[in-house]
Amino acid sequence: MTAYFFLFFISFLAATIFPFSSELTLINLLNTGSYSSFMLISTASAGNILGSIFNWLLGNYLLKYLNKKWFPFKQKQIDQASNWFKKFGIWSLLFAWVPIIGDPLTFVSGILRINFFIFLILVSIGKILRYLILLTIF
């Protein structure tokens, strides 16, 4: 049970600005053969999706703190993610799992007030597919 909680926690943090790798944690747990693959994928997905929801909420409600030192995203990250949105639209949310760009992308979607349910569906598809692909590879 603690392994699942640890994976959930790492996956949540990895979807925010913290430099954690939920993929490595998941692969290591899958390779032990001691845990249910379904439960590991579900746990990692839930944590990662909730981390993205956290970013969306930050963008939606806390943009006024952008210039504060403690704020998790910098203007450069927001500009880069905004450019992705301009280029690819809401479909860019399918790539919210991509390192470096994914976290600011979910934040910017909150700033742009992207419909939460569309956000949730697209982010979930991308993140779950990524973990399922890892499952088939490892």
Map 6-74 to HEC letters: HHHHHHHHHCCCCCCCHHHHHHHHHHHCCCCHHHHHHHHHHHHHHHHHHHHHHHHHCHHHCCCCCCCCC
How high is the mean pLDDT of the chain? Answer: 91
| Contact assessment for residue 106 and residue 59, using Cβ atoms and an 8 Å cutoff | yes
What are 16-32's pLDDT values in tens digits? 878 788 999 999 999 99
Q: The whole model's pTM is what? A: 0.89
pLDDT given at position 104 = 87
Average confidence (pLDDT) over 99-121: 91
Taking alpha carbons only, the member of 15, 98, 8 closest to residue 51 is 15
Per the structure block, which two tokens stand in for 3?
């392994």
Rounded to whole angstroms, how far apart are CA atoms 63 and 108? 10
Whether 70 shows a pLDDT value over 90: the answer reads no
Whether 2 shows a pLDDT value over 90: the answer reads yes
| Percent above pLDDT 90 for the chain | 62
Domain count, the chain: 1
Domain hosting 11: range is 2-137
